[in-house]
Amino acid sequence: MYDEEPLAHRVVVITETAALVGEFGTYLVRTLLSEGRLLYGSVGKTGDGRIIGRRIEKEGPTAVLLTTTAVKLHSENETRMLSVPVDDTREQTQAVMASLAKGAESLHVDLDEWLAFQEWLEGGEREVMVPFAELLARKIPPVAVRLRRDFAALLSLICAHALLHRATRDRDGYGRVVATLDDYDVVRELVVDLMGDAVSSSVSPTVRATVEAVATRMEAGAESVSVTELGQTLEVDKATASRRYRVALERGYLRNLEDKRGKPARLVLGEALPEDVPLLPTVEALRGCGVAGGGREHTHSEPPCDQPETERVCVPSPPLQHSNTATPDGQDSSDALAVERNGATPAGPPDDDPDDPWHEGSEPPREPLEFEPAEGGTPDRPAASEGAGADGEPGGNPDVEVFDL
């Protein structure tokens, strides 16, 4: 907060969330994620002892990476990020040890290719559009308020993946990178369980296995289950079993009959586990609604997908921030890296632009329009104005740096 280092286009890494002491620390993180900037009023003393007001302002956008052993973070902060649980299985532990052993053999890591790739990304088009965004929004059940933020994060991840594969992606009439269902397919595999677990539309395999282990013990005649017994059933150590049951306890799927501190837990079943209903539609479901894999060809929807055809949706490049994120002076708006969610749609390219993927088959206007003939045009298709649809090169390269607080 009081450091002179800028935060714009950087990643703040807080390796232990315990460093965020009290409500003020969590408030700072929450504000930075929501508003894309920090603005805080304080007071301080001058050299002659006078008390004066002080305004502290840090511009974003900024990404935040937190690590913690806690079961959950501040509830309001949780809705502004995706929580990725650690794989605590024996197989993963074995894989970690093998990776450490392999790293010990070769300490040198060649980063030249990655640095060159980053420079290539900075030097080209960074705006991405998702042609199936509206259809995707209709296909996700609105089961929780936090989906208002999670959906924007989903679009941001799709944009990020499309940008990484920019060399193999098409462009729209504005020169923007066109995301495909291949981009969505990769992102969906990464976050479908995380998003479903966050809104309780599904249960993670780890929590489900923990609850089923307690159920197995109770079906065998146990009145309650201890943490040690749980670990034996799951074939994990006691510390891992303890963390797992606390997650299930937090979700209400298990109950602890022991109410005295320091006494061994006595676990019993709580609320019934819900049926796993994938929150995000499959790629096949979107293709069945007329979305082509390459994002360039659009066909009319067939039953049961009788919704209007997907409109163009422009989603600038990640990381995710709100649409009211301030753009630093002198910086091109394409570098703001903010997901616009104000519903505004930029004016389309000229009607007679043959490169416009929506040139053919677009939905006609509700009322017929009449035009006066213009030079080079006809009454039903006037000539395009000179320079219409031109897109300037994005200015400036964002400074990407990782540091610890």
- Give per-residue pLDDT as tens, 75-94: 788 888 888 888 888 899 99
pLDDT band at 399 (very low <50, low <70, confident <90, very high): very low
SS3 percent helix, strand, coil of the chain, rounded to 5, is 35, 10, 55
Q: Distance between CA atoms of 226 and 249, rounded to whole angstroms?
A: 13
Coil, helix or strand for 10?
strand
Q: Beta strands 62-66 and 402-404: pairing type? A: unpaired
CB 358 within 8 A of CB 341: no
pLDDT at 5: 83
Q: Distance between CA atoms of 250 and 266, rounded to whole angstroms?
A: 15
β-bridge mates for residue 43, sequence order: 53
H helices within 167-226, ranges in order? 181-198, 205-219
Q: Distance between CA atoms of 313 and 297, rounded to whole angstroms?
A: 15
| 61 upstream amide cis, omega within 30 of 0 | yes
**Residues for the chain: how many in total?**
405
Choice between 372 and 249, residue whose per-residue pLDDT is larger:
249
**Rounded mean pLDDT of 154-172?**
95
Q: Distance between CA atoms of 229 and 202, rounded to whole angstroms?
A: 26
pLDDT at 54: 81
pLDDT at 220: 93
The answer to whether residue 158 scores a pLDDT higher than 70 is: yes
Q: Structural domains in the chain? A: 10-83 (no CATH), 205-269 (1.10.10.10)
Choice between 111 and 296, residue whose per-residue pLDDT is larger:
111
Report CA 146 to chain centroid distance, whole Å.
12
Q: Distance between CA atoms of 134 and 74, rounded to whole angstroms?
A: 31
**Rounded mean pLDDT of 325-336?**
38
CB 4 within 8 A of CB 395: no
pLDDT at 6: 85
pLDDT at 8: 87
Closest CA to 76 of 4, 7, 134, 23: 23
pLDDT at 284: 93
pLDDT at 293: 55
Choice between 24 and 294, residue whose per-residue pLDDT is larger:
24
Cα separation values, 223 from 236, 244, 257, 261, Å: 22, 20, 10, 20
Residue pLDDT, tens place only, 27-51:
888 888 788 888 877 787 888 888 8
Closest CA to 121 of 346, 404, 394, 354: 394
The overall pTM is greater than 0.85: no
Residue pLDDT, tens place only, 41-79:
778 788 888 888 888 888 888 888 888 887 777 778 888
Residue pLDDT, tens place only, 219-240:
999 999 999 999 999 999 999 9
Structure tokens that stand for 204 in this block: 């993670």
CB 332 within 8 A of CB 338: no
Instruction: Estimate the crossing angle of helix 238-251 against helix 227-234, to 10 degrees.
Output: 100
pLDDT at 332: 40
Max avg pLDDT among 183-192, 324-333, 369-378: 183-192
**Average pLDDT score, the chain:** 75
Q: Beta strands 62-66 and 10-14: pairing type? A: parallel
CB 400 within 8 A of CB 118: yes
Q: Beta strands 10-14 and 402-404: pairing type? A: parallel
| 304 upstream amide cis, omega within 30 of 0 | yes
Radius of gyration of the chain (CA): 26
pLDDT band at 107 (very low <50, low <70, confident <90, very high): low
Structure tokens that stand for 312 in this block: 């163009």
Coil, helix or strand for 138?
helix
**Rounded mean pLDDT of 103-119?**
83
Choice between 292 and 111, residue whose per-residue pLDDT is larger:
111
